[in-house]
Chains A and B, each alone.
Chain A
Amino acid sequence: MTFRIHPAIGIARVGNGDDYYIGPETIAGMPQEGKLLNGGLPIRKGTETETISSGDLREEGGALKRQAARFRIYHYDDAPITSYPSGAGTEVTIGTKLPDGRMVTDIAWTVHLANKKANNWQSPDDTGVVAYQDGALPPIRNPGFGGSSEPDTPERLAKLVIDAGPRTVSGAEASIECDAATTPNVWRDGAPADLTDYPVQFPNKDVFPDLTCPSGEEINTLGGLRTDARGRLLVLGAHGRACGFAADSLPLQDFVNNNGWFDDTADGPVTAVLIFDDGSEETLAGSAWAVSTDPAYAPQTLNVVSLWDDVYTSWLENFGLNPAIYDADGPDQPYVASYKPDFQSDILPIFRAASLQMWNTNLPDTAIAAHLSVGMIGPDDDPASRLYIKALVRDPDKPEQTSVGAPMMPLSLGDSGKAFLTVSRTQYFFLSQWFDGSFVTSPPVETGAGELLDKVVLANCLGGRFSPGIDMTFIARDPELYNKDWQNPGIGPFRVALAPLTYDAIDPGKPFLGVGYIPTREGQAGVEPGDICKFMAIPWHTDYNSCATHLPAPNPGGPIDSADINDPGVFSGRSNTSLFWSWPAQRPVAVYTFDDLVANNGQLPRQRFSVRGKGTMAESLPKTAGAFKSQNVGRFQKSEDMLTNWHRIGIIIQGPAIDGYDPSFDPEYYLEVGGFQEDDANPVIPWPNTLADDPDG
């Protein structure tokens, strides 16, 4: 018998409140049998599966609650894993009696959170992992800090890395903080042991005299750990704070790579020890990973390409995860032509995701109708009549299609040199099989409960456009990120390759963490705490603010260049001047508010921008020569305003989950609640809006 922690990667989210809810354990927007509410809603604190209502999103004073990542342990037999999914796995909690007769009396969890963003290389916005190939590295953030631009210098490692150190928690309803005030500890010899010499690192005025924290609070925690009544682990995100440490840290100059800044997102390994009634302990061989990131502003909107789709494709293609689907040694093509995907789990999510985009974007009515129609496709419908994918869905193996905007789908921006988004190769294979009528209506192998958690958590995160993204970035596609020993039943698939962390050998006064993981490098030691989030924007708020709508990059017709008198590209027809969405499922652009719906007697009202508080009005044309302000709508015009307003952005959830929702209103509406009361933003214009489309934008 062996044990594994699930999910393989858990997602916590920041909130400016102390209270929390638990991350969703159903896939966003997917129908739930016998329920009015579709998937993706977070879970109410203290419950197994009870989903939240609008009243659970914020604390009494209005502060946004944090999201906890819930981790569980499942037991498996000792046979090597040959394919995912296996259908196996039974949960183990405090009080579980195992088949071998042992009773679990306690679970000791250890989590080590860190943030290495400020000591990482710049996030290469449009190139992704390509910037790391063939030994290359992007430019370093905070060049010259402490007299060095090399990330492995002690001063950089000591000052630019936020490291809470490990924390261990055990028993039921327990709690510990991953903060500056408490002492790190680990589980050792059957009990928590303090690491009094551990070099905890948080930015403060002693280290950075110019430290400026617009929210008024310094970064003094990266989150916390809780256990529930059955000893499961909850990893909480921190509070969404960002602090500048340089004398000239304001105004914020960049969307993704701001030198002189910290934020309090984090990530790190989750390990566990099981304690049994016979006095024995078992340290789990494998590990999971906790990532804390931006809030989920639209938890029920499924991304057309989710993080799961990227991770799953990477695992199928690089690790032989399921040779029935992808067989690199196969006779014809790697994707096995005889494989029949399951309509419900492999195909329907793509259709549902398409149908949900209308709630976060400014799609016109005709496009909404088409998307809704796609969401209604059932297994009995004629594929060619309902969605002629060969003309409407980009083939990821045909690079030329990534330069074609509408009507090719998905109608979102791409990454890594692709102007427009494509579904993953696995998704396209599944869609092609469906189109050819080669699919089944019940899965060939059931997915085990723990295996399903691995999938669900990642399915609720952003994929496809890692520039750099919201939850995790392009490293999700890098085989070097992962533990290749997945067929070991104590490890399992989708695991981040944990670097050895020897807490017995702490050198007082010296930073514990090093440079850590570098994408694409073979044979490296593994992944350290803080190595996942370090590729994200710093601070995340500026990227979130800016990523409403954009021109394609690269623009298939060449860049807009207002300085080029002969061919500025705006009116010549050379460039594509339409504005497209980056991450609408994760970063809503245009929304319908619940208040507006009520005022409009249940009929869908006009949309508003999701980000619409004071300071969001884009300047009018042509006040500034050469300015193309229509890209600036739906965001704060000064990036730093997001640092103090991110928690005021409303959350979009399904109508029946809203307290006081009139039952006569459509239950399939997804509406913003608790958003900005003031609306200083420009009016929302239905797509296709273009550069200089709006006189106010």
Chain B
Amino acid sequence: MKNRATGLPLIAAAAALSGTAATAQEITDCTAPAAWFPHSQTPRQDNNADFNSNCAFHQWSWNAFLWLTQDDGSGQPRFLSMIPAGEVVTGEKSASDDVTPLQPRTRKSDMGSAFHEVNQAGSLGLLVDQNGRAVYYSASVNDTYFNFAVTENQFNIPENLLNASDTLNFPIGALSLKLSWKIVAEGENTSGFFTMPTSVQLLTTGPSGNIALDPERTQDVTVALVGMHVVGIVKDHPEAIWATFEHRANAPDFSSGIGMNDKLSSSDFTFYAKDTTAGECNQNNAGFLTLTDPETQVLSPVTQVCRQYAFGGGDAQNVANIASLNTSVDAQLETDSIWRNYMETGAIWFAAVDGLKPNMAMEGDILTGSVKLSNATIETFTQKVRSEEQCFACHRTDALYPISAPDKVLPGKNLNISHILLNAYVQNLEN
């Protein structure tokens, strides 16, 4: 092992080799193909593969993550060259050399794209790291997504999305990402993380006491990648495979039978202080979060994060396959690869072929894979809510009721599964 990332607890094995995973290794042969390595030669994921096993979906997920994190020749991982989600809203794709994709953007229509998002999915809470800083989010899409949504169908115009057939699906190969970033404190050891410099909008306290971003004030910072959703449409699965990856040091998992006052770990994690009890984890701070120091941007209270469902739950085979793949990729990546410090938390998709229908119920037997999947840094507060504990609970095909224009309902459709498209609808209604 050379140049192994330092500063990280050696939890990779611990997380993967929990009791469940140990059992898992006996029942799976789900591994990363040798052809994916070295990382520089990882092929693009095959969106038309035969998705006929649980392993196949997870292999697609890991393949996609490796391909996205591969150096695309620019010295940067490929995912940084994807199209910011805000451009689906504007319908204007920046020339690749026109603006660095992760630079702060100033137009209102770009809200919700790169680094202009702090709110947690499904709640008004903010994830506050151990330094008191908010975790920021960015989202992006690939060319297939953008060409379908904007170039071909101009869904950035609300009328067009409104009139789209309710059974129209995204094309195979459409891909979208949501990433979570921790702001690196001065002197903080980030050797185990993918980091990059960027600019973030600063937080301010709104008139009703809410914490909001101030588009007029930005700060140059270094951010560290802590989570990534990889969502891709593949053959027979218009609902998409919803996979998520996390930095291995993010948070401890809940264990079976844990009680309210039980401590999860005696070790510190990026978003967990050692000896924090289960009852103190994942507490939504909407309603009482305060910006204690606007200058340093320190918020209170700090959020203690725990992963409620290791591997996003699912059956033993699902858990085994993810654990096995995580181990397999870890073993085959270059020993100095920063990406060894990231793991697949899980992935979820439909048990049925072409099962996506407008206004359908998103629960029960239709779901398979990691059926209680959340990313501890992106869905911190909703992972414990029965009605919001997996991707499809919120990524649905029923109607959208815009907050700013409740009468401009977007009726139920298959396309509503993508919130990037829904954001475009809502924001362009306002423009």
- Residues of chain A at the chain B interface (Cβ within 8 Å): 364-366, 368-370, 372-373, 376, 382, 384-388, 390-392, 404-407, 557, 562, 565-568, 570-573, 576-578, 600-601, 603-606, 621-622, 625-628, 683-686, 688-690, 692-696
**C-alpha spacing A693/B123, complex, angstroms:** 12
CB within 8 Å of A: which of B330-367? 359-361, 363
Is B77 located at the chain interface by the 8 A CB criterion? no
Is B287 located at the chain interface by the 8 A CB criterion? yes
Provide the residues of chain A in CB contact with B260, threshold 8 Å: 562, 568, 570, 621-622, 625-628, 692
Cβ contact within 8 Å between B387 and A407? yes
Tell which of A368, A566, A625, A690 touches B385, judged by Cβ atoms closer than 8 Å. A690
Contacts A368-B403, A386-B409 given: A621-B386 contact, CB under 8 Å?
A: no
Q: List 6 A-B contacts (CB under 8 A).
A: A385-B399, A571-B278, A577-B385, A684-B287, A692-B260, A692-B279
Cβ contact within 8 Å between B308 and A600? no
Cβ contact within 8 Å between A373 and B407? yes
Cβ contact within 8 Å between A369 and B259? no
Provide the residues of chain A in CB contact with B81, threshold 8 Å: none
Contacts A368-B403, A571-B254, A626-B261 given: A373-B287 contact, CB under 8 Å?
A: no
**C-alpha spacing A387/B400, complex, angstroms:** 10
Provide the residues of chain A in CB contact with B25, threshold 8 Å: none
Provide the residues of chain B in CB contact with A404, threshold 8 Å: 363
Binary interface profile of B, 389-431, with partner A (CB < 8 Å = 1, else 0)?
A: 1000000101101110011010110000000000000000000
**C-alpha spacing A9/B261, complex, angstroms:** 51
Cβ contact within 8 Å between A573 and B279? no
Q: How distant is B231 from chain A, measured CB to nearest CB, in Å? A: 20
Q: How distant is A382 from chain B, measured CB to nearest CB, in Å? A: 8
Is B301 located at the chain interface by the 8 A CB criterion? yes
Provide the residues of chain B in CB contact with A557, threshold 8 Å: 386
**C-alpha spacing A562/B396, complex, angstroms:** 34
Tell which of A366, A600, A627, A683 touches B207, judged by Cβ atoms closer than 8 Å. A600
**C-alpha spacing A557/B387, complex, angstroms:** 13
Cβ contact within 8 Å between B256 and A603? no
**C-alpha spacing A684/B372, complex, angstroms:** 27
Provide the residues of chain A in CB contact with B401, threshold 8 Å: 366, 369-370, 372-373
Is B192 located at the chain interface by the 8 A CB criterion? no
Closest 4 CB pairs of A and B: A406-B387, A385-B411, A373-B406, A370-B401
- Residues of chain B at the chain A interface (Cβ within 8 Å): 123-124, 207-210, 254, 256-261, 277-280, 283-284, 286-288, 301, 308-309, 313, 359-361, 363, 372, 382, 384-389, 396, 398-399, 401-403, 406-407, 409, 411-412
Provide the residues of chain A in CB contact with B403, threshold 8 Å: 365-366, 368-369
Cβ contact within 8 Å between B124 and A365? yes
**C-alpha spacing A364/B123, complex, angstroms:** 8
Provide the residues of chain A in CB contact with B259, threshold 8 Å: 562, 565, 568, 570, 626
Cβ contact within 8 Å between B257 and A606? no
Cβ contact within 8 Å between A606 and B210? yes
Q: A388-B399, A573-B309, A695-B283 are in contact. List 18 more A-B contacts (CB 8 A).
A: A365-B124, A369-B401, A373-B407, A376-B407, A386-B399, A388-B412, A391-B398, A565-B257, A566-B257, A568-B258, A604-B208, A621-B279, A626-B259, A685-B287, A692-B283, A694-B283, A694-B284, A695-B301
Cβ contact within 8 Å between A385 and B409? yes
Provide the residues of chain B in CB contact with A622, threshold 8 Å: 260-261, 277, 279-280
Tell which of B258, B279, B284, B406 touches A372, judged by Cβ atoms closer than 8 Å. B406
Cβ contact within 8 Å between B398 and A688? no
Cβ contact within 8 Å between A689 and B284? yes
**C-alpha spacing A576/B412, complex, angstroms:** 27
**C-alpha spacing A572/B389, complex, angstroms:** 12
Contacts A573-B389, A600-B208 given: A384-B287 contact, CB under 8 Å?
A: no
Q: How distant is B75 from chain A, measured CB to nearest CB, in Å? A: 40
Contacts A625-B261, A628-B260 given: A391-B402 contact, CB under 8 Å?
A: no
Provide the residues of chain A in CB contact with B386, threshold 8 Å: 405, 557, 573, 576-578
Most buried by A among B256, B301, B387: B387
Provide the residues of chain B in CB contact with A690, threshold 8 Å: 384-385
Cβ contact within 8 Å between A571 and B409? no
Contacts A562-B260, A690-B385 given: A605-B208 contact, CB under 8 Å?
A: yes
Q: How many residue pairs, one in A and one in B, have C-beta atoms under 8 Å apart?
A: 147
Tell which of B258, B385, B398 touches A571, judged by Cβ atoms closer than 8 Å. B258
Q: How distant is A394 from chain B, measured CB to nearest CB, in Å? A: 12
Q: Whose C-beta in chain A lies nearest to the C-beta of B258?
A: A571
Provide the residues of chain B in CB contact with A390, threshold 8 Å: 359
Q: How distant is B265 from chain A, measured CB to nearest CB, in Å? A: 14
Contacts A385-B409, A605-B208 given: A369-B254 contact, CB under 8 Å?
A: no
Cβ contact within 8 Å between B385 and A568? no
**C-alpha spacing A407/B286, complex, angstroms:** 21
Q: Whose C-beta in chain A lies nearest to the C-beta of B313?
A: A573
Cβ contact within 8 Å between B287 and A578? no
Cβ contact within 8 Å between A688 and B387? yes
Cβ contact within 8 Å between B124 and A364? yes
**C-alpha spacing A629/B4, complex, angstroms:** 45
Cβ contact within 8 Å between A686 and B287? yes
Q: How distant is A481 from chain B, measured CB to nearest CB, in Å? A: 36
Provide the residues of chain B in CB contact with A686, threshold 8 Å: 123-124, 286-287
Cβ contact within 8 Å between B399 and A685? no
Q: Whose C-beta in chain A lies nearest to the C-beta of B384?
A: A690
Provide the residues of chain A in CB contact with B279, threshold 8 Å: 621-622, 692
**C-alpha spacing A268/B396, complex, angstroms:** 51
Provide the residues of chain A in CB contact with B261, threshold 8 Å: 622, 625-626
**C-alpha spacing A567/B258, complex, angstroms:** 8
Q: Whose C-beta in chain B lies nearest to the C-beta of A627?
A: B260
Q: Whose C-beta in chain A lies nearest to the C-beta of B289?
A: A683
Tell which of A370, A572, A577 touches B257, judged by Cβ atoms closer than 8 Å. A572
Q: How distant is A549 from chain B, measured CB to nearest CB, in Å? A: 14
Q: How distant is B309 from chain A, measured CB to nearest CB, in Å? A: 6
**C-alpha spacing A689/B411, complex, angstroms:** 28
**C-alpha spacing A175/B70, complex, angstroms:** 88
**C-alpha spacing A452/B406, complex, angstroms:** 32
**C-alpha spacing A406/B122, complex, angstroms:** 13
Q: How distant is A577 from chain B, measured CB to nearest CB, in Å? A: 6
**C-alpha spacing A622/B313, complex, angstroms:** 27
Provide the residues of chain B in CB contact with A625, threshold 8 Å: 260-261
Q: Whose C-beta in chain A lies nearest to the C-beta of B402?
A: A369
Q: Whose C-beta in chain A lies nearest to the C-beta of B162?
A: A385
**C-alpha spacing A565/B309, complex, angstroms:** 18
Provide the residues of chain B in CB contact with A606, threshold 8 Å: 208-210, 287
Most buried by A among B210, B254, B260, B278: B260
Cβ contact within 8 Å between A621 and B280? yes
Provide the residues of chain A in CB contact with B301, threshold 8 Å: 695
**C-alpha spacing A685/B282, complex, angstroms:** 13
Tell which of B278, B313, B385, B406 touches A369, judged by Cβ atoms closer than 8 Å. B406
Cβ contact within 8 Å between A685 and B384? no
Most buried by A among B124, B207, B256, B283: B283
Q: Whose C-beta in chain B lies nearest to the C-beta of A389?
A: B359
Cβ contact within 8 Å between A603 and B257? no
Q: Whose C-beta in chain B lies nearest to the C-beta of A411?
A: B387
Provide the residues of chain B in CB contact with A369, threshold 8 Å: 401-403, 406
Cβ contact within 8 Å between B359 and A388? yes
**C-alpha spacing A443/B301, complex, angstroms:** 56
Provide the residues of chain A in CB contact with B208, threshold 8 Å: 600, 603-606
Provide the residues of chain A in CB contact with B363, threshold 8 Å: 404
Provide the residues of chain A in CB contact with B402, threshold 8 Å: 369
Provide the residues of chain A in CB contact with B278, threshold 8 Å: 570-571
Provide the residues of chain B in CB contact with A386, threshold 8 Å: 399, 409, 411
Q: How distant is B279 from chain A, measured CB to nearest CB, in Å? A: 5
Provide the residues of chain B in CB contact with A387, threshold 8 Å: 399
Cβ contact within 8 Å between A601 and B385? no
Provide the residues of chain A in CB contact with B313, threshold 8 Å: 573
**C-alpha spacing A566/B259, complex, angstroms:** 9
